[in-house]
Amino acid sequence: MDISKDKIVEIFSKTVGADISEFADLKVTDDLRDWGLDSLKSIDVIVAIEEEYDIAIEDYDLLLDNFNTVEKMIKLIEKYVQ
């Protein structure tokens, strides 16, 4: 299963409706709120991640601070993909 920066950026770009090339300079530690993530889009990102990785993220993990960077998204996905 591909849990990489590239895959997460692909999911994120599709969800926010932007071309993936717009995220070429995105670092894994960048706050995605600076790249277009808001509370509504965050729900779409979580749903897309759950579908892509066939996981169900628990309500207590659905805090924006748990997935506001690519690095945090990867850690969250790895927690559920075991």
| Percent helix / strand / coil, the chain, rounded to 5 | 65, 0, 35
The answer to whether residue 1 scores a pLDDT higher than 80 is no
Calculate the alpha carbon distances from 56 to 35, 51, 62 in Å: 25, 9, 11
State whether CATH 3.10.20.30 applies to domain 5-80. no
pTM score, two decimals? 0.89
Give percent above pLDDT 90 in the chain: 87
For the chain, give every domain's residue range. 5-80
pLDDT of residue 62: 93
